[in-house]
Amino acid sequence: MNPRLVAILVWLTVVVASCLCITRLHIDTDMAAFLPRAASPAQRVLVDQFRDGIVSRLVLIAIEGAPDKRTTAISKRLAERLRGNEDFVTIENGDKSGFDRDRDFLWSNRYLLSDQIDPARFTQAGLRAALERDLADLGSAAGFLVKRTLADDPTGEMLHLIGQLRGGDDGPARTDGVWVSPDGQRALMLVRLRAAGSDIDGAQRALETIRSAFDAVTSDTADRAARLVLTGPPVFAVAARDRIKSDATRLSVLASGLVAGALLAVYRSPRLLALAFVPVISGALVGIAAVGLVFRTVHGITLGFGATLIGEAVDYAVYLFTQTAPDSLVEPTLRRIWPTLRLGVLTSIFGFSAMLLSSFEGFAQLGLFTITGLAVAVCVTRWVLPVLIPAGFAGVRQSRTMMRLGTIASGGWRLRLGVLVLTAVAATSLAFGKGPFWAADLTSLSPVPAAEQQLDQSLRRDMRAPDAAHLVVIRGAEQEAVLRTAERMTALLGPLVQQGALAGFDSPSRYLPSVAAQHARQAALPDAAALRTDLDAALQDLPFQPGLFAPFVDAVGKARSGPIVSRAALNGTSLSLRLDSLLSHRSDGWVAILSLRGVTAPGAIAAAIAGAQDAVLVDLKAESDRLLGVYLQEGVSLASFGAMAIFLLLAVSLRSVRRLLSVTAPLAASVVVTLAVLRLGGNPLSIFNLFGMLLVVAIGSNYCLFLDRQRGDPAGLPRVLASLLLANGCTVAGFGVLALSQTPVLHDLGMPVAVGTLMSLMFATIIMSPAHPSTPSNATSS
Amino acid sequence: MSFITRTAVFALLALLAAGPGKAAETSSNVPATLDRIMTALRSTRHVQARYIEHRYLHALRTPIETRGALHFDAPDHLEKASDPDSRGSAERLTIDGDRLTIDRGGNAPPIVLSLHEHPEIGVLVDSIRMTLSGDEAALRQNFDVTASGTVGEWQLALQPRGNQTLLQWMRISGFGARITAIDSQDTEGDRSDMSIVEQSR
């Protein structure tokens, strides 16, 4: 069969198959893909919490702008309207209307829930101590707290349970019984969505519900001034998705338009323009399909960013068209530039392969997409384009501009010293620059703009939201096992609270004690006769009325023989939600979480729980910083790995130290200068900048290779230069547009690539300028 | 319910009342009216006093006796600090604005309550503040008030109007701008008698 026909058939088959694949693809916008596949249990907790933990469902609502009496009234009306809506698990605005069920649950199960229950508590001595304390309490100003429950609960289990529940904190400030900021300007609400953090559609629906409910309750003209402020992870997730969607479309269209405009201006032929996009589009389609096959989903960022990244592939067609002189044919040109093109593509693929190994799934996707896309694009350029190019194609004419370019470039060697000085200055400023070199905070990776992060923090402060910075995480195969461990941890943490190592903590075992603990408590309760005898003895000489404690004896008797508390008993209480946040079933077993408040001595806590095999103390802040450290380390080593791979590839291909140096020197210089530019003003570098540098090396090496090959043929230089300049123009346009994005990933990658590739081309031209007398014309095609 | 709170507050009120009562004392046999009593009480800004309280609880066969100090700073700071009991433990009740704090010393964290969340206490405290500020209209809105006796030896009987209260009734006795006793009973039938001796103002 005709090899040209084969090429076309293979190409069409692959492209059509890819299209079929793509139509079934799920596009995902969860930013957690740009978190790494977490390795340690602590990191998994962190990422889990981020994805679908309780925190990921919390929305903070502030109502401001109206006179204060009105904001609190709006808060009440809004809460009223939202309650009962199935998008929400809880609506809290400070009023205690939902507390009755919780109190009933605690009251009727107090002897099973209280961790103070042990046999000693119901001996004559234990009862005596409790009664004496009651007497003191009755005489106190707090007597009203004890008075009502005295006859049923002289040992004070209910007060103990309520005290644990409140955690000693009275929550945010209140006006009219509704939460307000300390300055009274904002009314505050806390809403928990039913949708998990990863269900962005669900979050969006719930947020819409809140907004329309707010509009409905502020329809009164007097309330028109009131503003609704929403913040919290679901709000961020929805905003980030919108931003990514709009960035991906807008920027891709913009970049394509710019590139197309540039090509059209140079070629003045719509047909050539269309042909130039054939390799890119083929590469993009196959690349997306490949990502879909390997990862099952494609991230929105991979699409938006990758489509531009593959803009490098437009270069291949540009090299072919521009380097074909009017009097020559396409095929010979292709054969002539193929070795260089091939080496250039291989260089890029080697560079990008580092991303493939990244533990950020998002980056791994980008790597695979790019490698596949570039390989396909270069193959299409080599074997399909020649078939598609019309018979009468006469290459681009040597224009006066081209000649002028050649002249300018041939004088470039005079600027070598300048490049050296510039690089030295850049290196010095990097070495002695102010501020931290790397962004040390995980929020630098966050897709949330800094202003929104600040608003979120200020609302959190207003809410006095406990920063769940420390957790004890327990894993096990069974619910009973993790609850038992939680009880052991509770026993260990109690004394530490007394010692001041932490202010307090919450444990799932407070709401649902293990079956073993409940049975032990039942066993600790005495039978009615024994209790009556000990109680009478304990009451000796105390001024309590005779017969007062009969309800107590009854309650103990009921608890002793009654059913134990199961998960279902909590249904309908707000405690049920607390329990859900602290006790969950995952694919790999059960997880119980004790959330710690006001930790001052994490070392002491870690030491206390060190003996437990299945429990670990997680410091979320330290862990997230450590995670970022791991990313950075990984980023640096992957980037070094990529650079090393490129270097080795070039060394093997060029087989000349001199050529190797002249190809790599411009790249090194442009990396140093670009880093210095990024660091201007003390800006810390992000990990995305680092991957950007990898792209600079991958793309810039193409320029160097073409210029290197051209040294033996100064006459052809203007044409090659023109092709490189056009290719670079496309790259700068594509990535420069990314730099406009508000999404850190896109911005931090776009900026360095736009700057760095331009530098690479300039430096390569200057360093390899053939007119320099000391440069022998010894270049041979390898 | 906090009839303790209530008594404390009334005690403080009493102390306030202990303000400059010259006019009243000069004409001590004039019949007392709410207006006259309010006018006298209104002038007091700071009060310091001692109290003795007897509480009769239906759970106990014998009354509980406590002693301590009362302190008031206008407009809304009230304090009742008990003397250490036989075991050396004392407590301090403070009401500041909306916030009621009971600090029982030792390791126990103080009990903090919002009066808004506890309207049964809130109504009471509000009413006392209305009394202290001489806001007769507001007091009448929340209580059925009866004044009796003379300016030299008056009595105020208060009966709450709303049902969000644990207070059954309260009787405040005094002379001129001074309060000498606060007796009350809660809806559970428990009673408290408190006598007050002012020390300074």
Residue range A278-313, pLDDT digits in tens: 998 899 899 999 998 998 888 776 776 666 566 678
- A351, amino acid identity: G
Q: What's the length of chain A? A: 782
> What mean pLDDT is predicted for residues B34-60?
85
Query: Does pLDDT of A569 surpass 60?
Result: yes
Query: Does pLDDT of A759 surpass 90?
Result: yes
Question: How close, in Å, is residue A548 to chain B by CA atoms?
Answer: 7
> What mean pLDDT is predicted for residues A732-749?
80
Cβ contact A543–B111 (<8 Å): no
Distance from C-alpha of A446 to C-alpha of A112, rounded to nearest angstrom: 44
pLDDT in tens, A87-100: 887 788 877 666 77
- Looking at the partner chain, which of A141, A176, A545 has a beta carbon nearest the beta carbon of B80? A141
- Looking at the partner chain, which of A151, A174, A548 has a beta carbon nearest the beta carbon of B114? A174
Residue A372 pLDDT? 92
Cβ contact B55–A544 (<8 Å): no
Distance from C-alpha of B199 to C-alpha of B15, rounded to nearest angstrom: 9
Query: Does pLDDT of A648 surpass 80?
Result: yes
Residue A94: closest C-alpha in chain B: B117
Query: Does pLDDT of A780 surpass 70?
Result: no
Query: Does pLDDT of A592 surpass 80?
Result: yes
Higher per-residue confidence, A303 vs A546: A546
Read off the pLDDT band of B52 (50, 70, 90).
Answer: very high
Query: Does pLDDT of A640 surpass 80?
Result: yes
- Looking at the partner chain, which of B89, B102, B188 has a beta carbon nearest the beta carbon of A142? B102
- Residues in chain A with CB shorter than 8 Å from the CB of B58 are 545
- A593, amino acid identity: I
Side-by-side strand order, sheet with B167-175: B111-114, B99-103, B92-96, B77-82, B64-73, B46-56, B191-200, B178-186, B167-175, B153-160, B143-150
Q: What does the block give as tokens for A44?
A: 């998994």
Residue B83: closest C-alpha in chain A: A140
> What mean pLDDT is predicted for residues A371-375?
91
Distance from C-alpha of A639 to C-alpha of A641, rounded to nearest angstrom: 5
Three-point CA angle A124, A126, A130, nearest 5°: 115
Query: Does pLDDT of A115 surpass 70?
Result: yes
Percent of chain A with pLDDT over 70: 88
Read off the pLDDT band of B201 (50, 70, 90).
Answer: low
Q: What does the block give as tokens for A22?
A: 């793509």
pTM for the full predicted model? 0.65
- Residues in chain A with CB shorter than 8 Å from the CB of B66 are 139
Residue A256's nearest CA partner among A320, A311, A317 is A311
* Bridge partners of residue A190, in order along the sequence: A60, A92
Read off the pLDDT band of B48 (50, 70, 90).
Answer: confident
| Cβ of residue A774 closer than 8 Å to a chain B Cβ | no
Distance from C-alpha of A135 to C-alpha of A167, rounded to nearest angstrom: 25
Q: What does the block give as tokens for A83?
A: 């309650």
- Looking at the partner chain, which of B87, B111, B117 has a beta carbon nearest the beta carbon of A142? B111
Residue A503 pLDDT? 82
Question: How close, in Å, is residue A148 to chain B by CA atoms?
Answer: 8
Residue B63: closest C-alpha in chain A: A543
Distance from C-alpha of A387 to C-alpha of A277, rounded to nearest angstrom: 15
- CA of residue A444 relative to chain centroid, distance: 10
**CB count in 10 Å sphere of residue A16:** 11
- B144, amino acid identity: D
> What mean pLDDT is predicted for residues A222-249?
81
Read off the pLDDT band of A564 (50, 70, 90).
Answer: very high
Higher per-residue confidence, A42 vs A299: A299
Residue A176: closest C-alpha in chain B: B116
Cβ contact B80–A140 (<8 Å): no
- Residues in chain B with CB shorter than 8 Å from the CB of A545 are 58-61
Q: Cα–Cα distances in Å, from A243 out to A402, A443, A633, A741, A745?
A: 41, 17, 29, 9, 12
Cβ contact A141–B85 (<8 Å): no
Read off the pLDDT band of A437 (50, 70, 90).
Answer: confident
Q: What does the block give as tokens for B58?
A: 């239906």
* Bridge partners of residue A473, in order along the sequence: A593, A616
* H-run or E-run covering B48: strand B46-56
* Bridge partners of residue A619, in order along the sequence: A470
- Of the ranges A405-419, B58-72, B126-140, which one carries the lowest mean pLDDT score? B126-140
Residue A520's nearest CA partner among A151, A22, A112 is A112
Query: Does pLDDT of B6 surpass 60?
Result: no
> What mean pLDDT is predicted for residues A438-452?
66
Residue A211 pLDDT? 94
- A193, amino acid identity: L
Query: Does pLDDT of A684 surpass 80?
Result: yes
- A448, amino acid identity: V
- Looking at the partner chain, which of A141, A144, A545 has a beta carbon nearest the beta carbon of B59? A545
- Residues in chain A with CB shorter than 8 Å from the CB of B191 are none
Residue A689 pLDDT? 84
Contacting A residues, span 211-250, partner chain B, CB-CB under 8 Å: none
* H-run or E-run covering A665: helix A657-678
| Cβ of residue A586 closer than 8 Å to a chain B Cβ | no
Higher per-residue confidence, A506 vs B165: A506
Read off the pLDDT band of B127 (50, 70, 90).
Answer: low
Residue A151: closest C-alpha in chain B: B59
Question: How close, in Å, is residue B25 to chain A by CA atoms?
Answer: 34
Q: A97, A100, A144, A174: which to substitute to probe chain B, counting the most B Cβ within 10 Å?
A: A144
Read off the pLDDT band of B161 (50, 70, 90).
Answer: confident
Average per-residue pLDDT for chain A: 82
pLDDT in tens, A126-150: 999 999 888 888 877 777 778 888 9
Read off the pLDDT band of A767 (50, 70, 90).
Answer: confident
- Residues in chain A with CB shorter than 8 Å from the CB of B82 are 140-141
- Of the ranges A642-646, B40-44, B186-190, which one carries the lowest mean pLDDT score? B40-44
Residue B66: closest C-alpha in chain A: A139
Distance from C-alpha of A492 to C-alpha of A472, rounded to nearest angstrom: 12
Q: Cα–Cα distances in Å, from A23 out to A20, A286, A367, A706?
A: 5, 12, 22, 38
- Of the ranges A33-37, A46-50, A242-246, which one carries the lowest mean pLDDT score? A33-37
Cβ contact B114–A136 (<8 Å): no
- Of the ranges A336-350, A410-424, A615-629, which one carries the lowest mean pLDDT score? A615-629
Question: How close, in Å, is residue B124 to chain A by CA atoms?
Answer: 14
Contacting A residues, span 538-557, partner chain B, CB-CB under 8 Å: 543-545, 548
| Cβ of residue A495 closer than 8 Å to a chain B Cβ | no
Cβ contact A144–B5 (<8 Å): yes
pLDDT in tens, A202-217: 889 999 999 999 999 8
- Alpha-carbon Rg for chain A in angstroms: 35
- Looking at the partner chain, which of B57, B117, B166 has a beta carbon nearest the beta carbon of A177? B117
Count the alpha carbons within 13 Å of B132 in the hemisphere toward its beta carbon: 25
Residue A32 near residue A624 (C-beta atoms within 8 A): no
- Residues in chain B with CB shorter than 8 Å from the CB of A140 are 4, 82, 91, 102, 104
CB neighbour list of residue A575: distance below 8 Å, 6 or more residues apart? A102, A105, A106, A165, A511
Average per-residue pLDDT for chain B: 77
> What mean pLDDT is predicted for residues A32-59?
64
Read off the pLDDT band of B16 (50, 70, 90).
Answer: very low
Residue A96: closest C-alpha in chain B: B117
> What mean pLDDT is predicted for residues B55-68?
90
Residue A662 near residue A708 (C-beta atoms within 8 A): yes
> What mean pLDDT is predicted for residues A501-516?
90
Residue A778 pLDDT? 40
Eight-state DSSP code of residue A549: T
- Of the ranges A98-107, A634-643, A765-774, which one carries the lowest mean pLDDT score? A765-774
Residue A46 pLDDT? 64
Residue written as token pair 């400070």: A94
- Residues in chain A with CB shorter than 8 Å from the CB of B85 are 136, 139
Residue A668 pLDDT? 92
Q: What does the block give as tokens for A342?
A: 């091939």
- Of the ranges A379-383, A392-396, A423-427, A498-502, which one carries the lowest mean pLDDT score? A392-396
Residue A525 pLDDT? 93
- A713, amino acid identity: D
Query: Does pLDDT of A582 surpass 80?
Result: yes
Q: What does the block give as tokens for A92?
A: 């809290």
Cβ contact B60–A176 (<8 Å): no
Query: Does pLDDT of A530 surpass 60?
Result: yes
Query: Does pLDDT of A16 surpass 70?
Result: yes
